[in-house]
Chain A
Amino acid sequence: MQYVIIGSSAAGISAVEAIRTKDKDSKIVVISDEKKPLYSRCLISYLLAGTIDEKKIWYRKDSFFKNNKVNALLGIKAIEINTKKKEILLDNKEKVEFDRLLIATGASPKLESIPGIDKSGVFPLRTIEHAIKIQAMLGKVKSVAVLGGGLIGLRAAYALKNCGKDVSVFVKSGSILSQIVDKGAAGLMQKRIEEKGIKIFTGVAAKEITGDKSMKGVTLDNGSKHGCELVIIGKGVSPNMEIAKDSGIKINRGILTNDSLKTNVKDIFAAGDVSETNDIALGEGSINAIWPAACEQGRIAGLNMTGEKETYEGSLAMNSIEFFGLPVISVGITKPKNDTYEEIVKKDAARNIYKKVVLKDGIIAGVVFVNSIENIGVIGALIKNKADITGIKDIILEDYFDYGKIIPLIKKSKKGFRGPEFKETILTL
C-alpha cells in the first residue's frame, strides 16, 4: 500500500497523523510545493505583526516527516494525476504511483486583474515567504494600502499597524468582514479598528496600481489617488484544483467530495481548502476554507484511506477574530439571503456586546457574537445537531445561557447529539 498526499498544510498533516493511527508501516509520500512546510498558515499575520516570534509558527516539529515515516517531496509541484495508471506527474518530470491519494492542495490568494498588480511592493499574505518579503521591505514603508476588508485584509492591516505603519483599507462592499458577519457586528468592529487609527474606506475599490517598476500608489474607482509604498491584496482565496482538471475528477466550486471525503474517482480523496463538502447550515455543497474544517477533513480522509468507515458530518463556516481587544466569532449563516429566516438580536452598547442568532423553522442556521463569546460553541453544537430550539428561544442570547440550558434538548433529540460526551453528561438526568 502506498498513500500519496498532495499538500502539507492543515489537511495533509492531519491525514498523515490519522493514517498512522491505523497503519504504522505502509509507505506515505507527501508532495508539497513549499520547501519548508509544517507551519501554521493562520499565524502568518501574527508573525508579521510581531506578536509572536518565528518559533511559534512551526506547529509540528522538524522531525514530523521522519517520525511518521513519510517520504516528503518538498519544493516539488504535482502537476497531473493519471487516474487510470494511478500515478502523479511532478514538475521535475518524475512520477509517483499511488494506491490511495489525497488531494489537499489548499487555496491561493485571489489576485485582482487590475493594471499594475505585478509591480514590486504588491503582496498577498498567504505563505511564510510573503510575510518574510514584506518584513524585509518594511524599513522603507510609511504608508500601506490594503485592498479588501475581509479576514486576511484586516489581519494584515492590524499587523502592519502594529508595526507602526499608516494603514488604509479599501473595501469594495459596504461593510468590512462582509463574508462572515452581519452589518451589526461589522459596525462595532469597524468602529474599534478606526478608533485605533486604521483608516477604512468602504464602497471603493482599486482601479490601478501606479508607479514604475515599484509601486507608488493606488488609483481608486472614485477617481482619487492614494500614495503608499506597500499594497496588500486581501481578496480571499480560490481552490488549487488545476491538478484535477481533465483528470476525470469532478469539480464544481472545489473538488467534489462525499461524506467520506471521497471524490468520484475510486481511491482518490480530497480535503481542506480545495474540497467542496456539504455545508451543514446551507444544506448544499460549499467550500469552507478554514483551519478547523481542513484538520477535520484531513483526519477523516486519512482514516478512510486506510479502510476505516468514518463519516464527515459536513462543514460549517466559522471564524474568530479579535482586533484591539474586541473579539467577534461567527458560525454558519449570519446574513440570511431571504425572508424564510428569523433573526433574534441583542445589543448592549455600554459593554460593546452584540449577539445575533439566525433561525429557520426553529433550527439555528447561524450565530454571531461580539465581545461576549464564551458560550458560542454551545450554539455551534445546536447548529451541528439541528436541534429545535423553539423552547429556549427566549433565553438563547441571555448572559446566563450556557450548556446546562441545552441539556433538555439533548435528552429530547431522537438521533442524539454527535459525540459520546453529550450522552455522558446527561446520563443521570
Chain B
Amino acid sequence: MKKIYCNIKKCLGCGSCEIACAVEHSKSKELNNTISESPLPIKRRRAEFVEENIAISTGCQHCDNAACVTACMAAAMYKELKTGLTQHDRDKCVGCWMCIMSCPFGAITREKQEKQVVKCDLCPDRDKPACVEACPTRALSLGTFKEFKKICNM
C-alpha cells in the first residue's frame, strides 16, 4: 500500500506540509484566496515537535487494522479494498467523534459546523499529495514502506 511517510531526520517542522494540505483542501486551492475563505480549510497533516530540533509530519497512517474503522458506528470510515487506504464517506458520517476517540495518531479533525470529520485522503485530485510536493527537504514521500526504507537507507 502506498501512503505518506516522514523521514524524521530530514523534517524541520517548518509547517509547509500543513499549509499545502489546507490549500489543497480549500475551495479555491489558491493560497491567496484560501486565507479569506470562511470557514478556513482544515489541514490534515501536522508538523509536530518530538523534542527541540526533532520534528515529524504526521497524518492518517491508513492502518492495516484501523481503529477508526472499527469504532465507526455509521460505517462512514472504511477500508478501500483495492488500495488498502482508510477512506471517509461524508454522506454516512454523523459526527459522533468515535474515530477521533480511537485514532492513536490524533490524525482526525472535527469539521465542527458540518458535524463531519476530515483526515488525509492522499489528495485524490493529484498525482503526488500536496504535502509531499511542498516539503522543502523531501522529508515526506509517497510510496510503500519498502520504498520508504530504501530511500532512507534503512
Contact = CB atoms under 8 A, between A and B. Distances in A.
Interface stretch (B22-30, B33-41, B44-52): B44-52
Contact of B61 (A14, A320, A378, A424): A424
A320 B97 contact: yes
12 contacts: A14-B70, A292-B102, A320-B98, A320-B100, A325-B112, A373-B110, A377-B100, A403-B58, A403-B104, A421-B61, A427-B154, A428-B9
Q: Top 9 nearest A-B pairs by Cβ distance? A: A404-B48, A381-B104, A42-B73, A292-B71, A377-B103, A421-B61, A375-B106, A59-B75, A428-B8
Please classify the interface of chain A as helix (H, G, I), strand (E, B), loop, or mixed, using the class held by over half of its residues.
Answer: helix
Interface of B: 5-10, 46, 48-51, 54-56, 58, 61, 63-65, 67, 70-71, 73-75, 92, 94-98, 100-110, 112, 145, 148-149, 152, 154
B145 A291 contact: no
A373 B65 CA distance: 22
Contact of B50 (A331, A374, A407, A424): A407
A244 interface: no
Nearest to A51: B94
B95 A329 contact: no
B154 A428 contact: yes
A424 B6 CA distance: 9
A291 B102 CA distance: 12
B54 A56 contact: no
Interface string A1-43: 0000000001000100000000000000000000000001111
A299 interface: yes
Contact of A291 (B9, B10, B50, B71): B71
A420 B56 CA distance: 17
A327 B101 CA distance: 11
A402 interface: yes
A10 B94 CA distance: 17
B98 A292 contact: yes
